[in-house]
């Protein structure tokens, strides 16, 4: 019935390529976060007092093919002179169906000296979130295609 044999599928190679791109994005995200922290630490050393400290923290992590770049707010409680000062982290919620956080929300939690770096950092991380999201969806669809191809191969073997 078929004149030509079906060529072997390359699904796994395509998935590997997409996963390598995700790893590159993760590395870029980590460099962006590191740059943010270097700037924050440099500025906080120059400026005295708790009121000039940043209340924002950012991290970029990868689990499987998923990249997360999350902001959280840090609130300090207690007296540092009595040794009872502790911090509480609160996750900042990213709007649904959005790849980025609301910049105005992030900047209200930032000291004046950090507003520009927070905006720049978030803009760059939103681009990474967007691309990574599409890559993960592509991997899922290719895995579905591989499954469909394998099922088709089994049907052809029985013919």
What percent of the chain shows pLDDT beyond 70? 89
Quick check: 22 and 67 in contact, CB under 8 A? Answer: yes
Other beta carbons less than 10 A from residue 151's beta carbon: 10
Average pLDDT in the 133-143 region?
96
Q: Domain map of the chain by residue range? A: 11-150
Distance CA 57, CA 90 (A): 10
Distance CA 24, CA 20 (A): 6
Strands of the sheet with 66-77, listed across from one edge: 56-63, 66-77, 86-91
Does this model's pTM top 0.85? My answer is no
Average pLDDT in the 2-21 region?
80
pLDDT confidence of residue 86: 81
- Phi, psi (degrees; rounded to nearest 5) at 25: -65, -40
Q: How confident is the model at residue 159 (pLDDT cuts 50, 70, 90)?
A: very low
Distance CA 101, CA 123 (A): 9
Between 60 and 151, residue with greater pLDDT: 60
């Amino acid at each position: 019935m078929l004149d030509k044999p079906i060529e072997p599928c390359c699904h796994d190679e395509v998935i590997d390529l997409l996963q390598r791109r995700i790893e590159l994005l993760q590395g870029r995200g980590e460099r962006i976060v590191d740059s943010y922290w270097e700037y924050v630490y440099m500025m906080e050393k120059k400026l005295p007092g708790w009121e000039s400290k940043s209340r924002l923290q950012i991290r970029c992590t990868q689990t499987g093919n998923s990249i997360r770049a999350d902001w959280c707010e840090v609130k300090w409680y207690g007296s540092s002179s009595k040794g009872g000062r502790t911090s509480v982290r609160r996750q900042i919620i990213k709007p649904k169906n959005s790849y980025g956080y609301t910049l105005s929300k992030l900047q209200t939690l930032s000291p004046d000296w950090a507003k520009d770096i927070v905006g720049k950092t978030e803009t760059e991380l939103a681009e990474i979130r967007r691309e990574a999201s599409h890559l993960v969806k592509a991997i899922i669809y290719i895995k579905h295609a591989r499954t469909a191809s394998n099922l088709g191969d089994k049907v052809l073997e029985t013919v």
